[in-house]
Amino acid sequence: MKYLFTLFLVFTYSFSYDKIITKYYVQFETTANFDELVYSLKNEMITNSFTLSFQSNLGKSINAMSKHLKEDKIFLNAKKIGFCKNSLGFQLVEENEKNILYCPIDIIIYEKTKDKITILYELAKKLDVDDTMVYDLNNIVIKHMENILED
């Protein structure tokens, strides 16, 4: 019973955040716990029929290079996580085979200081005049990112 109560608390936690949208990317900034945020992102995407394609510990490799160069660490934590949803990937590629560039969807979460976590998503761009699915893709990804911060 204690486990169920703890699980319930994890799924109902809400994070405060700021959102920045540019023509190139969407950025969310929050003071959430890094590991909880990574867990919430993976859970949100998998719950909504996305498959976890990869998870890369960018912070570890970049900080290793910083150490090698005798420079300061850049990140406390940084991960790049790739997700794929077969039905969405099919729709993207059916519209324009070059849209395969957006499979998997990459989301980056990094922490430079203990009080600030950044989530980045590079917006998919139209590769052809008639492409419209990239707008749907962007809206879907942004909605899921907002869900993990608002739930």
Residue 3 lies in a domain: no
Residue 119 lies in a domain: yes
Residue 9 lies in a domain: no
Residue 130 lies in a domain: yes
CATH number at residue 142: 3.30.310.70
C-alpha separations of 18 from 33, 46, 119 in Å: 15, 24, 10
Residue 8 lies in a domain: no
The pLDDT tens digits for 55-91 are: 999 999 999 999 999 999 999 999 999 999 999 999 9
| Counted domains in the chain | 1
DSSP state of 124: P
Q: Residue 95 sits in which domain range?
A: 14-150
The pLDDT tens digits for 123-143 are: 999 999 989 999 999 999 999
CA distance 146 to 75: 23
